Amino acid sequence: DGGITQSPKYLFRKEGQNVTLSCEQNLNHDAMYWYRQDPGQGLRLIYYSQIVNDFQKGDIAEGYSVSREKKESFPLTVTSAQKNPTAFYLCASTKGTPGRTEAFFGQGTRLTVV
Amino acid sequence: GQNIDQPTEMTATEGAIVQINCTYQTSGFNGLFWYQQHAGEAPTFLSYNVLDGLEEKGRFSSFLSRSKGYSYLLLKELQMKDSASYLCAVRRNNAGNMLTFGGGTRLMVKP
């Protein structure tokens, strides 16, 4: 079955550490996105990528980095520069073509700083 | 800038009808989506509007007025399992067709 997979589901990080969240899709989608969600809040865009080897900052990119070396993969690194990283992180993908192209979401990674 | 507003919380009774409103101000409008999100889970797609009017899909309908920057999601015959957050999202063609989300409306369905 086609889908989008995030791992791990839960992640604990010590202060000062970098951590990388995985996102893989086998939907052959061109565009991929990372969102952050805080409790009781909507989704805020961190980074997005429309094609391989290209990505753009979203609204809250500071303290995060991404890469897009393969169409299927869009990992997110939460660096020590991100002052408040505890949140629910959602990866999404779309076909990137006009028309009704809804975003498909992974199941999310809940990151906690300990 | 982009601005998408929804009520924070709503409460309704099982079997009733509820309307969740969404207003937006954005450039490059290229469609409006509604998603449902249960606590701790990923959002799931409910509906899409790009032209003015009503789209009906079973118990759920969504309406769009582009001139007013306004949409609503209508849920009929409410069930307890409809208790969730409902997210309004606008797609912008001047920003890689990415989705910008509102803060979400938490709906509680009571017996």
Nearest CA in chain A to B86: A42
Query: Residue A96 — very low, low, confident or very high, per pLDDT cuts 50/70/90?
Result: low
Which member of A43, A102, A108 has the closest CB to residue B101? A43
Chain B residues closer than 8 Å to A31 by CB: 96-98
Q: What is the mean pLDDT of residues A2-16?
A: 91
The Cα-based distances of B73 to A72, A94, B82 in angstroms read 33, 22, 13
State residue B19's pLDDT score: 98
Task: Give the span between the Cα atoms of A28 and A110, in whole angstroms.
Answer: 26
Spell out the per-residue pLDDT of chain B, length 111, in tens: 568 999 999 999 999 999 999 999 988 888 999 999 998 899 999 999 999 999 998 999 999 999 999 999 999 999 999 999 999 999 887 666 778 899 999 999 999
| Per-residue pLDDT tens over the stretch A39-89 | 878 899 999 998 999 999 998 999 999 999 999 999 999 998 888 999 999
What is the distance in angstroms between the CA of the first residue and the CA of the last residue of chain B? Answer: 41
What's the average model confidence in pLDDT over A22-37?
Answer: 94
